Structure 1
Amino acid sequence: MSTRVGVLGATGAVGQRLIQLLAPHPDFEIAALTASGASAGRTYRDAAKWRVDSPIPEGVADATVVETDPEAVPDDVGLLFSSLPSGVGAAVEPEFVEAGYVVSSNSSNGRMDDDVPLTIPEINADHLGLIEVQRDERGWDGALIKNPNCSTITMVPTLAALDRFGLDRVHVSTLQAVSGAGYSGVTSMEIIDNVIPHIGGEADKMETESRKLLGSFDGAEVSLHEADVSASCNRVPTLDGHLENVWADLDEDPAPEAVAEAFESFPGIDLHSSPEQLIEVFEEPDRPQPRLDRNLGGGMAVAAGGIETTNRGVQFNCLAHNTMRGAAGASILNGELLLEEGYF
Structure 2
Amino acid sequence: MVNVGILGATGAVGQRFVQLLADHPWFSLTTLTASERSAGKIYGSVVNWRLDSPFPDSVNDLVVSPTTVDAVKDCDIVFSALPADIATTLESEIADAGVGVFSNASSHRMASDVPLMIAEVNPEHATLIDLQRKNHNREGFIVTNPNCSTIMLATALAPLMKFPFKSIQVATLQAISGAGFDGVPAFSIYDNVIPYIGSEEEKIAREANKILGTFDGAKVTGAPFSVSASCNRVAVIDGHTLNVWIDLAATPAEVIEAFKSWQPPFSGLPTQPAKTVQYLEQADRPQPRLDRNRGNGMTVSVGRVRDGIRFVAMGHNTIRGAAGASVLNAELLHTKKYF
Could you tell me the TM-score, scaled by structure 2's length? 0.97
Give the CA deviation at 1:309: 1.4
1:337 aligns with 2:332: yes
By how many angstroms is 1:61 displaced?
Answer: 1.0
Q: Contact between 2:73 and 2:97, CA under 8 Å: does it hold in 1?
A: no
- In 1, distance between residues paired with 2:57 and 2:198? 38
TM superposition shift of 1:73? 2.4
Moved more, 322-331 or 260-269: 260-269
TM-superposed deviation, 1:160: 1.7
* Count of paired positions: 337
Query: Helix, strand or coil: the match of 2:57?
Result: coil
SS of equivalent residue, structure 2 residue 237: coil
Q: Does 1:29 align with 2:24?
A: no
Query: Corresponding residue for 2:121?
Result: 123
Residue 272 of structure 1 is matched in structure 2 by 270
- For 2:242, which of 244, 253, 263 is the aligned residue? 244
Amino acid in structure 2 at the alignment position of 1:298: N
Whole-angstrom CA distance in 1 between matches of 2:61 and 2:54: 13
The equivalent of 1:46 in structure 2 is 45
The one-letter code matched in structure 2 to 1:331 is: S
Within the candidate set 140, 148, 151, 1:150 is matched to: 148
1:33–1:65 contact (8 Å) kept in structure 2: yes
Q: 2 CA distance for matches of 1:283 and 1:324?
A: 24
CA RMSD in angstroms comes to 1.0
**1:267-312 deviations in whole A, cap 9, x for unaligned?**
12322211111111112221100000001111101101110012xx
Do the aligned residues in 2 keep the contact of 1:172 with 1:231 (CA within 8 Å)?
yes
Taking the aligned partners of 1:277 and 1:265, their CA distance within structure 2 comes to 10
Q: How many Å separate the matches in 2 of 1:55 and 1:288? A: 26
Contact 2:31–2:64 (CA<8 Å) still a contact in 1? yes
Contact 1:275 1:300 in 2 (8 A): yes
In the alignment, what sits opposite 2:72? 73
What is the match of residue 9 of structure 2? Answer: 10
The alignment partner of 1:123 has SS state of: coil
Q: Share of identical aligned residues, percent?
A: 49
Equivalent in 289, 295, 298 of residue 296 of structure 2: 298
Rounded to whole Å, the distance in 1 between the matches of 2:79 and 2:190 is 33
> What pairs up with 1:179-198 in 2 under 5 angstroms?
179-198=177-196
Q: Distance in 2 between matches of 1:74 and 1:159?
A: 38
In the aligned structure 2, how far is the partner of 1:30 from the partner of 1:91? 24
For the pair 1:325 / 2:306, whether they are aligned, the reply is no
Correspondence 1:257-268 to 2 at 5 A: 257-268=253-264
Match in the other structure for 2:55: 56
- 2:252 is equivalent to residue 281 of structure 1: no
- Show the counterpart of 2:203: 205
Alpha-carbon offset, residue 54 of structure 1: 2.4
Amino acid across the alignment from 1:130: L
Cα distance, 1:74 vs structure 2: 4.8
1:315 counterpart residue number: 310
Where 1:243 maps in the other structure, the secondary structure is: strand
**Contact 1:216–1:222, Cα closer than 8 Å, also in 2:** yes
Asked if the contact 1:170–1:249 (Cα under 8 Å) also holds between the matched residues in 2, the reply is: yes
For 1:196-235, list aligned pairs within 5 A: 196-235=194-233
Q: Is the 8 A contact 1:159 1:167 kept in 2?
A: no
TM value normalised by structure 1: 0.96
Report the alpha carbon displacement of residue 119 of structure 1 after superposing the two structures with TM: 0.3
Deviation at 1:53, TM superposition (A): 1.9
Q: Do 2:116 and 2:146's aligned partners in 1 also have CA atoms closer than 8 Å? A: yes
> What amino acid does structure 2 have at the position aligned with 1:41?
G
Quote the offset at 1:79 in angstroms. Answer: 1.1
Find the aligned partners of 1:320 and 1:72 in 2 and give their Cα distance: 33
Q: Using the TM superposition, give the Cα deviation of residue 37 of structure 1 relative to its aligned residue in structure 2, in angstroms.
A: 1.4
Runs of 4+ aligned structure 1 residues displaced above 4 Å come to none
